[in-house]
Structures are given as C-alpha cells and as structure tokens.
C-alpha cells in the first residue's frame, strides 16, 4: 500500500482560471487525490493562509451555482483523479442550501466530504442519508468521544498528524496513534494531516501506515513555479516510497 498524497487548493483562488491551473499542476506533478476547498466567507477553523485563500475565492463567485460550475469543469478536466470536497457547515446551510447542495454535488458525482464547523449533527446526518461519505476528524490526543464517532463513520478518518497539546499515554508517535485506532476497531482508511510540509513529515505518515497524507499550505505556496512544484512533489513521493520499501 502506498500512502496517497492529497493536495489542497481553494477553487476560485486567486481567480477561477488560475485555480484550475493549480489543479492541473497537482495532477501533472503526481498528486494522488485533490482536496477542493469550497469558498467560504468565514473559514475560522483554517490557518490564516488557507483562510485567506477561501475568503478570496468566496469574493470571486457571484453565487453557489457558479462555484459548482467551476467544480464541474475541474472534474471534467481530471475525471480519473479522486476528489474530496471541504465544506464549512454554515456554507451548506446558509450560502448553498442543504437541498441544493445535495442536488448539485450529487449531479457532479462528488461523494467524499470533509465537513467542518458543524453546529450540530443534522447536516452531517442528512448528507450521509443521501449517499455522501462524510469524514470524521480525530485530534492527536485520541479522545474517547472522537474515537466512538469515528467508529460509526462511513468515510475516511482525518487524523491530526502532530501533537499540539494532550497526548494519550502510549500514543506519543503517529504510528502509535494509528495502531491504537486500529486496535479500537477503526477499519476505515486513516488520512493524516495538519502541519505536514516536509519529506520527513510524509515519511512519518507513510511509516505510520496511514492510507493518506494531506498537504495544504506548503503545497499551495509552491504553485507559483511549476518546476519548483514538481520537484517538491517528487521529494514527497520519494520520501513516501523510501518508507514503504
């Protein structure tokens, strides 16, 4: 099993056509899965850099239909590349509308959703009942309530890759965290992310036997120079492959 490299970008940033070119460069460079950030007016859970790209993208579209038109164009250009759509709960509720989101996303063929900033479980439950796979986030400290939620998830697990506070005893490393989740009965794919930027980070994720590795800001910042981007992605792939020999 090779750990999949998952590359993030905000559709519509810095403008629609340039965001398409960014996605093109990801696929050309060897990124395995594209994570599409849906424009957001208040991306309060993201870091400043990613948050600013989402806010900029939000201002570049006249409405949610225009965003989905861009998503459809992207999917047409890269029909063989899996995608994950990152959505803020309030954007689905207030900007798109739950029913309209289900209609447009289903028509686009989107199945995998990262839902963040949830007010309650209602949107998540509605999406799942309509055939979407909604990921479950687990912080590095592996709280029991998050593990229980993940056990009932119908999609991949998004595992925080690096500690930023509490650490469960015996789970000081990412590999130990992944093993702990497996021992607790988590069978869904585990994708690790947050703070991943270097080849050593990717190697750590691969050695931990996580099925996927999210790269966000570090990858997006390389898109101004396609040669630099390709070299960077190659270094990540080499690090991953060295861990899986």
Whether the CB-CB separation of 202 and 239 falls below 8 Å is answered with yes
Alpha-carbon span 127 to 23, nearest angstrom: 26
- Is the sign of the CA dihedral 81, 149, 143, 89 positive or negative? positive
Residue 224's pLDDT is 87
Q: Is residue 245 over pLDDT 70?
A: no
Alpha-carbon span 36 to 16, nearest angstrom: 13
pLDDT, tens digit, 9 for 90 and up, residues 145-203: 999 988 888 999 999 999 988 899 999 999 999 999 999 999 999 999 999 999 999 99
Residue 151's pLDDT is 85
Q: Is residue 109 over pLDDT 80?
A: yes
Q: Where on the phi/psi map is residue 105: left (φ > 0), alpha (ψ -120 to 50), or beta? A: alpha
Give the residues across from 84 on adjacent strands: 35
């Amino acid at each position: 099993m090779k750990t999949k490299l998952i590359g993030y970008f905000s559709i519509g940033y810095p403008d629609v056509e340039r965001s398409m070119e960014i996605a093109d460069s990801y696929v050309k460079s060897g990124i395995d899965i594209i994570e599409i950030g849906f424009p957001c007016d208040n991306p309060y859970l993201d870091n400043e850099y990613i948050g600013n790209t989402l806010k900029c993208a939000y201002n570049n579209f006249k409405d949610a239909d225009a965003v989905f038109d861009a998503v459809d164009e992207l999917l047409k250009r890269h029909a063989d590349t899996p995608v994950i759509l990152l959505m803020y709960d309030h954007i689905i509720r207030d900007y798109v509308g739950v029913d309209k989101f289900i209609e447009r996303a289903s028509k686009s063929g989107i199945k995998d959703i990262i839902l963040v900033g949830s007010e309650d479980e209602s949107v998540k439950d509605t999406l799942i009942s309509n055939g979407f796979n909604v990921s479950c986030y687990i912080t590095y400290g592996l709280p029991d309530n998050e593990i229980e939620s993940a056990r009932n998830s119908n999609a991949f697990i998004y595992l925080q890759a690096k500690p930023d506070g509490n650490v469960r005893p015996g789970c000081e490393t990412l590999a130990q965290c992944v093993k702990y989740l497996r021992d607790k009965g988590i069978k869904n794919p585990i994708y690790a992310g947050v703070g991943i930027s270097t080849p050593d980070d990717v190697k750590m994720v691969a050695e931990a036997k996580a099925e996927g590795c999210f790269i966000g800001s570090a990858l997006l910042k390389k898109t101004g120079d396609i040669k630099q981007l390709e070299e960077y992605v190659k270094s990540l792939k080499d690090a991953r492959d060295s861990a899986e020999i």
